[in-house]
């Protein structure tokens, strides 16, 4: 009796991003028939995920295991670090499941984890921006119970929406049964990827508007300081405004550089080799998770004190709740 021929190996798994153009990417979620050739892009993503996980784990440990950090702004920074930590873990798991433990079901869970974590990262950035704006705009009432309640509500909405986005591919909104609906970010459908991209663009637009308002508050504070010190508003305001506006401009520039490629790619689709475009969109987003601890955590004076105290074996006092000065933006 003749044996059945094995399925065509060209239909096997190629990793998370499909290579409909024959580029041989390692990013697809179908069952594996033969071992995959190691893709350099995947190695870069895995190494990036390892670094992201390590540095964000430090922030999570410092914030969540230090009773000193229970103020709203630290809870939001902790939420951002948790989201980026999960994103790093997701990148490592995706690499392991694609090359060593191929499984369609587990790969779907990995994709869901990545979608949830990156969405939560962007949502936490938006929540931090809202908190920074309110701490400057309502400085006198910032340290109140209302602020704590508002922070918990923002965290609940952020993680609820993020988990919902991540569950969609797992619960059936994927293209594994309908390949024609696949985006380059397989198994996400083109409509789901467009929804994620539109959500990112909406969050970036909201952050841009809020930082414009923050810059106005910073400029007004600089003018008030100039008047109080009996200096000419023109000479002092220029230097003070430039110093106070440097951080918002750097934050917005980093956000745009990291997330605009993903958003544009998701809305317009690939304009070249699918795998190359998809990797080029995902890598900047991953590097955003790499830079977030540096921008939002390691620059914070209180966190710096705790880290130095931990290195020296000292005990750091609890930081008091306070509204931000323009230099803290």
Q: Which residue has the higher pLDDT, 227 or 266?
A: 266
Confidence of residue 253 (pLDDT cuts 50, 70, 90): confident
**Average pLDDT for 185-189:** 79
- Give the per-residue pLDDT at 183: 77
pTM of the predicted protein model: 0.81
| Tokens 């540095």 -> residue | 55
- Give the per-residue pLDDT at 160: 95
If you average pLDDT over every residue of the chain, what do you get?
78
- Give the per-residue pLDDT at 318: 52
* Contact in structure between 270 and 197 (CB atoms under 8 Å): no
**CA separation for the pair 72, 133 (Å, rounded):** 13
Is the bond into 187 cis (omega within 30 degrees of 0)? Answer: yes
- Give the per-residue pLDDT at 4: 44
3-class secondary structure, 15:
strand
Instruction: List CB contacts of 3: < 8 A, sequence separation 6 or more.
Output: none
Q: Which residue has the higher pLDDT, 131 or 219?
A: 131
182 bridge partner residues: 189
**CA separation for the pair 141, 128 (Å, rounded):** 17
Confidence of residue 203 (pLDDT cuts 50, 70, 90): very high
**CA separation for the pair 163, 116 (Å, rounded):** 5
**Average pLDDT for 17-45:** 56
Confidence of residue 98 (pLDDT cuts 50, 70, 90): confident
Is pLDDT at 218 greater than 90 in this prediction? Answer: no
pLDDT tens string 147-157: 889 999 999 99
Confidence of residue 106 (pLDDT cuts 50, 70, 90): confident
Confidence of residue 122 (pLDDT cuts 50, 70, 90): very high
**Average pLDDT for 305-320:** 67
Confidence of residue 21 (pLDDT cuts 50, 70, 90): very low
* Contact in structure between 96 and 41 (CB atoms under 8 Å): no
- Give the per-residue pLDDT at 323: 52
**Average pLDDT for 196-209:** 92
- Give the per-residue pLDDT at 327: 44
Is pLDDT at 86 greater than 80 in this prediction? Answer: yes
- Give the per-residue pLDDT at 158: 95
Confidence of residue 324 (pLDDT cuts 50, 70, 90): low
- Give the per-residue pLDDT at 205: 93
């Amino acid at each position: 009796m003749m044996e059945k021929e094995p399925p065509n190996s060209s239909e096997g798994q190629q990793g998370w991003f499909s290579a409909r153009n024959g580029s041989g990417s390692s990013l697809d979620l179908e069952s594996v028939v033969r071992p995959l050739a190691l893709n350099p892009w995947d190695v870069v993503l895995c190494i990036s995920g390892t670094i992201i996980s390590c540095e964000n784990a430090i922030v999570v440990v410092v914030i969540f295991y230090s009773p000193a950090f229970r103020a709203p702004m630290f809870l939001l920074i902790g939420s951002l670090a948790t989201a980026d930590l999960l994103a790093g873990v997701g990148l490592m798991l995706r690499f392991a499941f694609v090359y060593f433990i191929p499984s369609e079901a587990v790969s779907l869970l990995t994709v869901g984890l990545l979608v949830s974590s990156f969405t939560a990262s962007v949502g936490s950035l938006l929540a931090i921006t809202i908190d920074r704006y309110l701490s400057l705009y309502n400085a006198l009432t910032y340290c109140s119970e209302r602020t704590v309640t508002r922070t918990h509500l923002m965290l609940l909405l952020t993680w609820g929406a993020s988990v919902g986005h991540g569950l969609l591919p797992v619960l059936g909104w994927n293209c594994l049964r309908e390949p024609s609906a696949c985006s380059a970010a397989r198994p996400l459908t083109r409509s789901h990827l467009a929804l994620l991209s539109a959500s990112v663009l909406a969050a970036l637009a909201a952050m841009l508007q809020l930082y414009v308002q923050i810059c106005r508050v910073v400029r007004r504070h600089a003018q008030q300081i100039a008047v109080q010190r009996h200096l000419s508003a023109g000479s002092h305001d220029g230097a003070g405004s430039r110093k106070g506006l440097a951080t918002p401009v750097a934050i917005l520039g980093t956000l745009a550089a990291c997330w605009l490629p993903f958003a544009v790619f998701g809305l317009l689709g690939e304009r070249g080799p699918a795998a190359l475009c998809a990797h080029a969109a995902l890598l900047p987003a991953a590097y955003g998770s790499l830079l977030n601890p540096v921008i939002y955590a390691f620059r914070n004076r209180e966190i710096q004190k705790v880290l130095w105290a931990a290195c020296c074996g000292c005990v750091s006092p609890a930081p008091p709740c306070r509204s931000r000065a323009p230099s803290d933006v």
